[in-house]
Each structure stands twice: as structure tokens, then as C-alpha cells.
Amino acid sequence: MNSGNLSDHIIQQYEKDEKMMILIFAQWCINQDLDPQKVYSKAYPQQGENSVLKDVMELTVSKEEAGEIDNNVLLGVLSAFGNDDLAFAVTKEIQEGKKKK
């Protein structure tokens, strides 16, 4: 594999992994009765609609069909991608959810 192909492969793998991270985030939001786009917008108010988030919404299932996604698992995945702003927004949602209980 030459360096050009290797670079392309690495980029494609990163994009695939990033899409999985966004899917985990979106499914977690649905499981918590939250709108993923609204939570995303709290983290990135200047960005507007995220096209990848919009695309992965088609892959989510109802919370009744979904398995549980632990808060710490989601925060770990977001952290692994350096998505600190979104992790902060999720942490605020977790805290708000605990206040409601």
C-alpha cells in the first residue's frame, strides 16, 4: 500500500468511526427522550445542522428497541474523538436528567 492509499484508508476509517460516534450519541439522546440536534446545537450553536447527524438519524431505533447506552460509555467515546464541547453538553443533560428524577 503506497502512502497515498494508506492516507485515504486512514481518512476513510476515521470518518467511519466518527459516524459511529455520532450514531452512539444520537441513540443515547433518543434513549433519554432528547432531540439529538438540539443537544448538538447547544454544543455548537454556530454550526447549524450537522449533515452526518442528520444521516445517522435514519439508523437510530426507538428507545424501546434500543439497548441501554451507559452515560460513561458515551462520554468516553466523545472524549476519544476530542469532542469536548459535545461531552460538556451531554454532561449538562445528564445532570438535568438527575434533577428531574
Q: In the numeric block, which cell numbers belong to residue 3?
A: 502512502
Q: Distance (Å, rounded) from C-alpha 39 to C-alpha 55?
A: 16
pLDDT for 87: 97
Return the higher-pLDDT residue of 3 and 87: 87
Q: Distance (Å, rounded) from C-alpha 62 to C-alpha 59?
A: 10
Characterize 39-71 residue by residue with b for buried, 16 or more Cβ atoms within 10 angstroms of its Cβ, and e for exposed: bbbebeeeeeebeebeebbeebeeeeeeeebeb
pLDDT above 80 for 56: yes
With a CB cutoff of 8 Å and minimum separation 6, the contacts of 61 are 27, 30
Contact 15, 78 (CB under 8 A): no
- Give pLDDT tens digits for 17-52: 999 999 999 999 999 999 999 999 999 999 988 999
Kindly state the average pLDDT of the residues 53-68.
95
The single residue listed with the C-alpha cell 497515498 is 4
Structural domain total, the chain: 1
Q: In the numeric block, which cell numbers belong to residue 36?
A: 439529538
The parent domain of residue 67 ranges over: 3-100
- Give pLDDT tens digits for 67-97: 999 999 999 999 999 999 999 999 999 999 8
Contact 39, 83 (CB under 8 A): no
